[in-house]
Amino acid sequence: MANALEQEMSKYFMQLDEADKKSVLQLIKTFIQKKKTGHKDASTIAAYNKELDEAMERINKGEFTTLDELDKEMQLW
């Protein structure tokens, strides 16, 4: 018999539509795969920090769109 946590997970899972169920299943598979391979999030964190550094460089160079500019651009869509 399933424990309380498994029962609760099942209850919520059954309320999802098919697309959401596929997303949750993929998430679970990702967790399991990381455990099997001993994968740590360090590379993900490193990549994230690199992206942040690159974004900060673009901002410092003035390579960004202000909210006002974006509003004007959206009016043209």
**Residue span of the structural domain in which 71 resides:** 40-77
Say whether both 71 and 44 belong to one domain. yes
Say whether both 29 and 2 belong to one domain. yes
pLDDT tens-digit readout, 25-65: 999 998 888 777 765 555 688 888 888 999 999 999 999 88
Say whether both 77 and 55 belong to one domain. yes
In angstroms, the CA 10 to CA 34 distance is 23
Say whether both 45 and 77 belong to one domain. yes
Say whether both 44 and 66 belong to one domain. yes
pLDDT tens-digit readout, 49-59: 888 999 999 99
What is the token pair recorded at 67?
A: 């909210």
The single residue listed with the structure tokens 């299943």 is 25
- Number of structural domains the chain divides into: 2
